[in-house]
Amino acid sequence: MFTHSIRRRLVIGSAALTATALAVAGCGRSADSPSGGAQATTTVSQGPATGNLTVWAMGTEGENLPKLIDQFKQANPGVNVTVTPIPWDAAHNKFTTAITANSVPDAAMVGTTWMGEFADLGALDPTPQGFDNSGFYPGALDTTKVAGTQYGVPWYVETRLVFYRKDLAAKAGFSTPPTDWDGLKAMAKAMKDKAGAKYGINLQPGGEGSWQTVMPFAWSAGANITGDDQKSFTFDTPEMQEGLKYYQSFFTEKLAGTDLPPNQTEAQFVSGQVPMFISGPWMAGSVAKAGGAAIKPNIGVFQLPKNKTATSFVGGSDFVVFKASKNKDSAWKLVKWLSDAKTQASWFKMSSDLPAVKSAWQDPSIASDPLLPVFGKQLDDAKAPPAIVNWEQVASAFDTEVEKMAKTGQSPADTAKAIQTKATAIGTGGS
C-alpha cells in the first residue's frame, strides 16, 4: 500500500484552499549521500539529457506528468521521454512483474512503502554522488533510504494535521489551537460539552491505515518501530504503550466514537457532529466541497500536539531510476530536474502535490494559501515507517490490534505486546 491513504487515491481531494479558488489535489540531512549498503560510485555527467527514456507514474500523477515532462524536453531537446500512466490497482503487480522479467522503465514514481521491497529485489539504482539532499524535508529523505543506501529522491510529500472548526472552537472557549496532549484532550471535551458536538474528534478506531494516525502519537512519546539496524521490531516498549494509552483514552472517555459510519468525515465536520479530525491536505478541498462557501472560513488546521515531540506522519512518493535502465545518466538528469525547486513549484500548480523541497514552499501559490504553510511546518517533524520489505503485513497486524484496543478495550500493554509478537513472526523481510 502506498503511503497516501486509499481514500486519497480515490477522491484526490483538494490539497488547499487557494486565495482565489479551490485547488484540486491529491525531508534534509545536510548534503548527505548514500551511506552503508550498496554505495553509489557514479556521478551524473554534465550537459543535457539525450536519448530515449521511459517513465512510469501512477494515477493522476501519471496523467499530469507528460505536461511537466514537456518542460524537461524543451530544456533537453535531444531527449525523448515516454510516460506511461498506470492505474493504482495494477501498479504493484506491474512493477514486480517487470522487475522479474527485467523489463522495467528507466525511471518511475514509486510509493514510499514499496522502496524496501524493490531495493531488496536489487531493482533500484543507488542515487549517484553529487546530489544535494540538504533541501529536502528530513522525513521524506528517509523514505528513500534502505539499509543505509539512498535510492532516488523524494518527489512530493504529504503529512497529517488536526483539522478543526474555528467557529465551534471559539464557542468551546478556544481562541487558539492547543499545542500539547493535554490541550487536545481539553479541546475535544469542550467541543462536546460546550459546542454541541456528538464527539470532540474523529479518530480511526482501527481498521486499514489506522497506523498512520496512531503512530504519530507513539512517535511523539518517543517510540520507534524498529531498532537502528531495522532488523528487529520495538513495538513493546513503555513509549509505545504511552502513545497507545493516550489514543485509547479518547474512546474510553467518549470523546471519539467507534460507531461513526465510515467515509462520512466531511459531512460530520460540516454538520458540527464531529468538528475535529486528523488527515492530510487533500481533505481541505473535500470538506469545502461538502460544506460550500459557508464552511470555508471556518476550516482551520494545527500541528499535531506535543508530548516529547510533535511528530506527524509523512507520506508521498519518491522518484527512482532502475538498475536495468540502458540510459541511467539521462534518467538521473530527469530525476535531478524533478527535484529542482522551480520544477516542484510548477508541479504543484499542475497537480497540487506538495513539494518535497523546502524552498519550493516559498512560491506564492503555496505561501499565500491559508492552510498549506502549516503543513510545511509540520513536515519539519514528520516520520515514515522504515523501508522494510514486510511493512505492509506488519501494518495490517498493527491495524488489527488497534481495532481491538479501541473497540473491545484491549489494554495498551496487551496491544503493544500483540503487535510485537505478530511483527516478530512476520519479520522485516529482505535478504
**N- to C-terminal Cα separation, the chain:** 21
Where does the pLDDT of residue 41 fall: very low under 50, low under 70, confident under 90, or very high at 90 and above?
Answer: low
Of 404, 397, 399, 392, the residue nearest 425 (C-alpha): 397
What band does 38 get if pLDDT is binned at 50, 70 and 90? low
- Angle formed at CA 355 by CA 352 and CA 361, multiple of 5 degrees: 95
Residue 125: pLDDT over 70 = yes
Q: Which three cell numbers stand for residue 394?
A: 506488519
Q: What is the pLDDT of residue 26?
A: 31
Q: Write the CA distances from 53 to 78, 90, 297, 351, integer angstroms.
A: 11, 22, 46, 22
State the pLDDT confidence band at 40, using cuts at 50, 70 and 90: low
Res. 430 pLDDT band, cuts 50 70 90: confident
Tell me the mean pLDDT in the region 102-107: 97
Share of the chain above pLDDT 90, in %: 85
**DSSP state string for 359-407:** GGGGSHHHHTSSSHHHHHHHGGGEE-----TTHHHHHHHHHHHHHHHHH
Q: What is the pLDDT of residue 276?
A: 98
pLDDT bin (cut points 50, 70, 90) of residue 399 is very high
Q: What is the pLDDT of residues 303-321, one digit of tens each?
A: 999 999 999 999 999 999 9
b/e code 325-356 from CB counts within 10 Å (16+ = b) = bebbbbbbbbbbbbbebebbbbbbeebbbbbb
The rounded distance, in Å, linking the Cα atoms of 181 and 310 is 9
With a cut of 80, say whether residue 229 has pLDDT above it.
Answer: yes
Q: Is the pLDDT of residue 17 over 50?
A: no
Q: What is the mean pLDDT of residues 217-244?
A: 96
Specify the pLDDT at position 43.
87
pLDDT beyond 80 at 9: no
Residue 341 has pLDDT above 80, yes or no: yes
pLDDT of residue 113: 87
Region of poorest pLDDT, from 35-39, 70-74, 231-235, 380-384 = 35-39
Task: Give the distance, in angstroms, between the CA of residue 114 and the centroid of all CA atoms in the same chain.
Answer: 13
Q: What is the pLDDT of residues 244-300, one digit of tens each?
A: 999 999 999 999 999 999 899 999 999 999 999 999 999 999 999 999 999 999 999
H, E, C per residue of 272-289: CCCCEEEECCHHHHHHHH
The DSSP secondary structure of 92-142, one letter per residue, reads: HHHHHHHHHHT---SEEEEEGGGHHHHHHTT-BPPPPBT---TTB-HHHHH
Express each pLDDT in 136-179 by its tens digit: 999 999 999 998 899 999 999 999 999 999 999 999 999 999 99
Examine the pLDDT at 65 and tell me if it is beyond 50: yes
The residue among 43 and 139 whose pLDDT is bigger is 139
Backbone phi, then psi, for 385, in 5-degree steps? Answer: -65, 155
User: What average pLDDT score do residues 64-79 get?
Assistant: 97
Domains with residue ranges and CATH for the chain: 6-159+314-383 (3.40.190.10), 161-312+387-426 (3.40.190.10)
Distance CA 208, CA 205 (A): 10
